[in-house]
Structure 1
């Protein structure tokens, strides 16, 4: 891990502009950075007390220790990556960013429709498969033992109320978003535990909607919180050489949620290109754990314990049910 990862705040995955994430980033870079606080303490400003400066410095040290112990940099070269749902949106951007990584020699993309760009990517091997079908057929087509990194990104959005969903639509959302991921995870972990000579990494793209269920997204949210619970349990079951990362993004600037409008100051739209670079860094650094973006995603678990009237106010103010 680069030294700047320890001494600088986490880079933004949203456009630099008028939003809460940019404001917090600038504060962490200046007045809430150890260097900035000590300058403001001992300079002519005298804005902060020494206790405040020591507290800020201690918090940054704790942050650095957490980063160090959650990371196991992948030193393997000529790595092979398997990514599901790599034909559109965030998945496509991940393919592009991983394709430029010199340590990655092969990228297996699983999706329904190939992209014309893939013809220019020498590392990409496209595999057409519908994840709504029996995932065991896909597992038989892939040599999971050669896979170093698995990125489970495929997902399907719900667009109707739960009562309006047909049985086939319900099954399709559950199969693509949850069942296929569980089966692929299980098969990959079984093979990975048999070989201890190299680091492996599993990245699962979930959603902050796993913490809250907006209107017409109840089943979608159900699949995301289920994945989060499964991964938390897996962290205690898998060996240390298998890294497990859960990406929990908010609304992306992709087509899946293009019709959804929210308060962009509190919930800025994520740039999928920036998020794909973040995922690549997480893979290269071998970082364990959950990563929620943007900032409000880290606070959403608190929403569940708020009084009912306060939850209703939050839903109204955020516009999350305007689907």
Structure 2
């Protein structure tokens, strides 16, 4: 046992205060770089972190660089330092923990063969929905857009993307549209619940019909579509993927957005509860349960018509997310075939930690972010993507 004790002492001696601080810094930066980052260049915290991610290449490169460094020191008769190997081993542990967490938390990946997939995108006449539809179509997936408005870029002879006029707030209309998709293309395997509207008015200025419509489109439509799509997904061993587009405002709340933020907050609980329900179903009678994947999307402000009149309080810390960037991230998540939560930009990933701060600091954070004053310039009136 003395040998073990001596080895332990030698290992602990490597963790000097400066080395420990370096490893903690690496851990923090590594964890942040795991969140999605913008593909569109801009001077923002998100894009700088995106560039920082080059510091974390695949494991073989880390060890190649480490060994090359050590051999170089030996070649010029310099003393060999243990720090490079310690960093490489630490990074390996971080990488391994992340991989294990992904596997245990998100389950086995669902195999996605695009030419065999049929996707329905709600609220797809423009904005994020239409961009998702275009990315899916380029992948070779059959795509149907549901919206009450005709997409501006859609034509009657459109070969890849079909448009059905559907009010997703109407349960009967959803069921009829689903049957039409089955007749025209086949059983849908991907559901993108994206439809959403915003009024941008304080509670006392909202009429019952306005906030009822907000919940019908933003929240109840998810109940209608999932109740309609799930039976076939559960019956097929191939399963399917359901994407729930919520918002970071579902966590934050905001002045002039009582109906919108409440409808988006409901989706956070809806996603979690439905995921738990599917996971608890017996596989014997529901062969597709093991292959149904749930993706929750919580973006910040998007570059779409819905909030186009708003100015971000800080383009560096709270940049407007390009809709095309988020669309590609969503499709990539579907292709990875795992249960996921997508947050863009970085502050949307960190905002859940706001609740652990003292109330006074939470108020300071809200004031500094400008989240409550931003809607004063909105002007009111229903908007959609």
For the pair shown, the structure with the greater C-alpha radius of gyration is 2
Is 1:99 the counterpart of 2:124? The answer is no
Residue 247 of structure 2 contacts residue 264 of structure 2 at CA under 8 Å; is this kept in 1? yes
Deviation by residue 1:142-197 (Cα, 9 ceiling, x = unmatched): 2276111110100011310112111010101110000111121122223322x233
1-structure distance, mates of 2:351, 2:221: 27
Task: Tell me what 1:22 maps to.
Answer: 47
Q: 1:299 is matched with which residue?
A: 350
Q: Secondary structure at the match of 1:204?
A: strand
> 1:89 aligns to what?
127
The answer as to 2:303 corresponding to 1:268 is no
Q: Counterpart of 1:3? A: none
> Does the CA contact (< 8 Å) of 1:155 and 1:176 recur in 2?
yes
Aligned partners of 1:14 and 1:294 also within 8 Å: no
SS state at 1:299 partner: helix
Q: CA RMSD in A?
A: 2.7
Q: Is the 8 A contact 1:131 1:176 kept in 2?
A: yes
Note the residue ranges of structure 2 that are not aligned, 5 or more in a row. 1-32, 74-79, 279-288, 376-385
Is contact 2:36-2:342 (8 Å) kept? no
Q: Does 1:172 align with 2:213?
A: yes
- Aligned residue for 1:298, secondary structure, equals helix
TM (normalized to structure 2)? Answer: 0.74
Q: Contact 1:81/1:147 (CA < 8 Å) preserved in 2?
A: yes
Taking a change above 3 Å as real, the CA distance of residues 241 and 32 of structure 1, as seen in their structure-2 partners, is closer
Q: Tell me the distance in 2 between the aligned counterparts of 1:91 and 1:148.
A: 17
Structure (1 or 2) with the greater helix fraction: 2
**Alignment CA distance shift 1:264-1:78 (3 Å):** same
Candidates 139, 146, 154, aligned match of 1:118: 154
Task: Give the Cα separation in 1 of the matches to 2:354 and 2:36.
Answer: 25
Distance across 2 between alignment mates of 1:191 and 1:289: 22
Which moves more between the two structures, 109-118 or 294-303? 109-118
> CA offset at residue 114 of structure 1?
1.3
What is the aligned residue count? 312
Residue range with higher mean Cα deviation, 217-226 or 39-48: 39-48
